[in-house]
């Protein structure tokens, strides 16, 4: 997910994407505790995507 892609989306789509990413992070954490997850980098990437979406939403509120 790139910043340019986020800039093109409207606020409703960003909120939907944020909800999906948070759900993915929740599933990742449960998979991690159950030893089902092998790739630890996925969690880091999901958290970064969440931060990018939140940053874009906050920058739109300031305008």
Q: Is 11 exposed, middle or buried (0-12, 13-18, 19+ CB in 10 A)?
A: exposed
Residue 30 CA to residue 45 CA, distance in Å, equals 16
Query: Does residue 12 have a pLDDT over 80?
Result: yes
Better-predicted residue by pLDDT, 63 or 4: 4
Nearest to 14 by CA among 52, 45, 48, 46: 52
Domain that holds residue 45: 3-62
What's the structural domain count of the chain?
Answer: 1
Give the CATH number for residue 40: 1.10.287
Nearest to 26 by CA among 46, 8, 10, 45: 46
Long-range contact pairs involving 43-49 (C-beta distance under 8 Å, separation at least 24): 46/21, 49/1, 49/21
Q: What is the pLDDT of residues 16-42, one digit of tens each?
A: 999 999 999 999 988 887 777 678 899
């Amino acid at each position: 997910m790139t910043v340019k892609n986020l800039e093109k989306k409207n606020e409703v789509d960003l909120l939907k994407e944020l909800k999906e990413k948070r759900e993915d992070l929740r599933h990742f954490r449960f998979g991690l505790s159950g030893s089902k997850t092998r790739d630890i980098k996925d969690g880091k990437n999901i958290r970064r995507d969440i931060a990018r979406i939140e940053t874009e939403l906050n920058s739109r509120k300031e305008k």
